[in-house]
Each structure stands twice: as C-alpha cells, then as structure tokens.
C-alpha cells in the first residue's frame, strides 16, 4: 500500500481486527446455537467405541474428477483435497478413528487439478466380522460391511469408491504397487502425432529423468532414475462432426499413455510439454533422447509444463485381483459419469457448432488449428527460442550443495518421490 500515512495504516489494521472479531463472534454463535439445538433434541455427543470392533486391512479403489480440487494429498492451508474428503467420510461412517491410527498408505500423489480412475489406498478399517472369522479364512466377504456403498453415501459426487479388497496386514498401497499407468488426453490440433509417438519411445527403459521433471532436492530426492515400461501416443477418437472418417481432423482426440513403476514430481507433464513442442514442429524428435543424456545436458533447459487438466492416474497394478465390486455401487457410478458426460458433451457440441459457423464466416476460408496450443502453460513468446539455446536451471549437484550448506539436507538422500 503506497502513499498512505502511518495513521491511515493503523486505522486500516484496526478495521481489519474489528472485522476479524466480528467473524469470530458469528462462528461462536453458530456453534453455540447448534449445541443448544442438539441438547434440546436430546442428542448426546457420544464417541464410537472402536475397542469393541474388529479391524481388517483393506485396499480401496477410488475414482475422482480432480479439476476442482487442490490435489490429492491433505494440506495445511486448505480442506479442498481428495484425501481430506476421504478421511472425513471414513470418520463420519465410523470406519476409522483417525488417519494417524489407520495404518494408511496411498499409491499415488496427484497434483492440483489431476484426476484418477484408479487411485488405490490401503488402511486398517472397522469390520463387521469377529476376530475368529477374520483369522479363520473362508469366504466371509458377503458378510462384511459394504465399504463402497457406505462411503459413497457421504463422499462428494465427484469422488467415488469403486471397489475394495482384503489385504495382508503388512500391505502398502505405495510400496507394493507393481506399475502405474498415466493417460494424458488432448486434441490433435496442428500436432504431428506420429512424431510425438516416435519421440516418446526414447523414454522407454531406465533413464535419469532429471531434465524431464521438477527436481525436489529440498525434500531429499537426489536420485532421478526411473523405469518406463511402455509409452505411446495415438489417436483415440475421430471427430464426430467430420463426415469423412478417412481424413484427419484437428478435433480428433488423442492420448499419451505412460506405464512405469514410479514417477517423479511433474514427470508426466514435463514429458508432455516436450512432446507438444515436437508435435508443433518446433523441436526435433531427437530432443527427447538428448534430454535423457545427462552427460551432454546436465542442466535442465527452461520450458513450460503441460496443463494438469487432461492428466489421469488411470491404473495401478497389484498382485491382488480379488476386488469386491458391488453391482449397485457400479451402476450408481456409471449413472453419475453419464450425467457428467452429458453436461460436458452438450457444452462441447454447442461450442463446436459455434466454431463451424464462425469458420464459415471467414472470407478466405482459412483453417485455424489452435486446439492444442492452450495445453502449454506459461506465456508464449512471439519468437520461438530452441530448447537448448534457453537459460538452464541449476544442476542437480549445485542444488544438493546449496541445501547441504543451509543444513536442510544430509549427504544421504532419498531416491523416491513417486507421484
């Protein structure tokens, strides 16, 4: 705040303090009124007695549309996360006492706006069965609580529990996952899909991906070797407005599919950011191979991440295959997804019809293909600067030295920060 006197600043602070006190009084009043209503209605704040219940270790398979959330993981400054909503539902259903006592583990950490069709968590959860039934084996699944149905009653509609599965007591959703599959959906636009597919093949195998991720040295991640099992870019669906199915349309939908054992922070979005530059013809196919050669290129050139919106943690592979899927729950999920699809597709079709009319109004009949240009975040320069002519980030060695000097990092570093 520029150009104000100290007296005006003091008055402004006093006004803010008064407003803060007013908000506190409103909250306290609402809480007091709620307590009074509960007392008048005879309600008692009785805690659930977990000591009388058995527990079992299970896996839960989650589906969520993450566009309106601040990421999967619980955060200190917001409650708008998938994990916060999950544990709110678990506690409300009296399935766990708290996260701290639930022996909880998650398969992946998706960032803000990222969705998932197959996020898997493992935890100790309340059971309807007796300890003898749980330890005796046999098919007691039908007698167990319907965890998916219970949780979906109280979860937000864009977070669903698809299935659950019994798991050994020492099972970890994070460390026992065999492979993770990410998908990234995007329109063809002016992109060369064949070139993108050829480029992403260089990522298959075990490589040092320090140039294709956001290095997280501050949190102890100093090793960036990861194994990609398969990688592919392909056309997923043809343009429904194109009467000639044999020709490529800028509105065709495509997908990148990456299958790997574990991922680094922003690894998929960095890879997709480079693929978009290759697809636009701004970089050669071999640039992917060059970025993986850390001997020749030890420092990451500065480039933009691909948007988070099209990214989906699509599958997590485990040895366990005995998923308990309720037909009633699955029908409910399908019904909700169909309704979501309807509303988004109606909007998409409406916009596409407007585009057709606008393109028909062009006097020169020019073909504008900007469908995929919005997927690269950041400000786009008027003149393109080749990747290896750009400023570079600090090297991994310099970052490690920096944090060691600040006593924020020990010499022995962790090698895992899976997504």
> Active-site residue numbers?
111
Cα–Cα distance for residue pair 382/183, rounded to 1 Å:
30
Q: Please identify which residue in the block is written with the tokens 């970089």.
A: 283
> Terminus-to-terminus CA distance in the chain, angstroms?
40
Q: Backbone phi, then psi, for 237, in 5-degree steps?
A: -145, 140
Which burial class, exposed, middle or buried, applies to 222 when counting CB atoms under 10 A from its CB (0-12, 13-18, 19+)? buried
Cα–Cα distance for residue pair 290/38, rounded to 1 Å:
66
Least Cα distance to 271 among 200, 191, 193 occurs for 200
Q: Please identify which residue in the block is written with the tokens 């994070």.
A: 174
Distances (CA, A) of 54 to 5, 124, 135, 207, 322: 65, 10, 11, 46, 21
State CA 404 to chain mean position distance: 31
Token readout for 53 is 């219940």
Report angle CA 227, 229, 230 to the nearest 5 degrees: 130
Cα–Cα distance for residue pair 97/126, rounded to 1 Å:
9
Cα–Cα distance for residue pair 309/113, rounded to 1 Å:
6
> Which of the 8 DSSP states describes residue 277?
H
Cα–Cα distance for residue pair 227/141, rounded to 1 Å:
37
Q: Where are the beta strands (DSSP E) in 176-310?
A: 179-187, 205-208, 225-237, 253-260
Strands 311-317 and 205-208: unpaired
Residues paired with residue 392 on neighbouring β-strands, in sequence order: 301
Residues belonging to the chain: 419
Cα–Cα distance for residue pair 94/91, rounded to 1 Å:
5
H/E stretch holding 18: helix 6-40
Handedness of CA 293, 299, 304, 306 (dihedral sign): positive
């Amino acid at each position: 705040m520029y150009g104000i006197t100290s007296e005006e600043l003091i008055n402004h602070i006093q006004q803010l303090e008064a407003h803060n006190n007013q908000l506190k009084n409103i909250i306290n009043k609402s809480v007091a009124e709620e307590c009074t209503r509960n007392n008048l209605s005879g309600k008692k704040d009785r805690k659930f007695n977990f000591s009388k219940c058995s527990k079992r270790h299970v896996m839960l398979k989650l589906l969520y549309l993450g566009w309106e959330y601040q990421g999967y993981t619980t955060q200190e400054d917001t409650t708008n996360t998938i994990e916060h909503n999950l544990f709110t539902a678990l506690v409300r259903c009296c399935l766990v006492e708290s996260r701290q006592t639930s022996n909880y583990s998650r398969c992946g950490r998706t960032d803000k706006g990222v969705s998932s069709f197959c996020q898997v968590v493992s935890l100790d959860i309340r059971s309807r069965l007796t300890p003898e039934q749980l330890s005796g084996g046999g098919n007691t699944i039908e007698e167990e609580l319907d965890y998916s149905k219970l949780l979906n009653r109280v979860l937000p509609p864009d977070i669903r529990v698809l299935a659950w599965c019994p798991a050994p007591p020492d099972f970890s959703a994070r460390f026992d996952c065999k492979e993770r599959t990410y998908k990234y959906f995007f329109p063809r636009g002016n992109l060369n899909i064949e070139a993108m597919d050829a480029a992403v093949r260089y990522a298959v195998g075990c490589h040092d991906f320090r140039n294709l991720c956001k290095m997280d040295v501050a949190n102890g991640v100093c090793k960036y070797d990861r194994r990609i099992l398969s990688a592919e870019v392909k056309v997923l669906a043809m343009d429904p407005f194109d009467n000639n199915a044999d020709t490529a349309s800028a509105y065709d939908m495509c997908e990148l599919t990456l299958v790997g054992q574990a991922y680094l922070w922003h690894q998929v979005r960095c890879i997709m950011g480079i693929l978009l530059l290759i697809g636009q013809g701004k970089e050669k196919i071999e640039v992917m191979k060059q970025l993986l050669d850390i001997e020749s290129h030890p420092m990451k050139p500065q480039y933009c991440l691909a948007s988070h919106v099209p990214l989906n943690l699509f599958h997590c592979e485990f040895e366990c295959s005995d998923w308990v899927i309720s037909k009633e729950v699955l029908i409910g999920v399908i019904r909700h997804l169909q309704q979501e699809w309807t509303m988004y597709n109606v909007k998409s079709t409406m916009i596409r019809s407007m585009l057709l009319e606008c393109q028909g109004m062009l006097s020169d009949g020019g073909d504008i293909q900007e469908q995929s240009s919005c997927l690269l975040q950041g400000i786009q320069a008027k003149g393109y600067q080749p990747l290896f002519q750009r400023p570079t980030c600090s090297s991994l060695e310099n970052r490690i030295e920096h944090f060691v000097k600040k006593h924020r990092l020990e010499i022995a570093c962790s090698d895992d920060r899976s997504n």
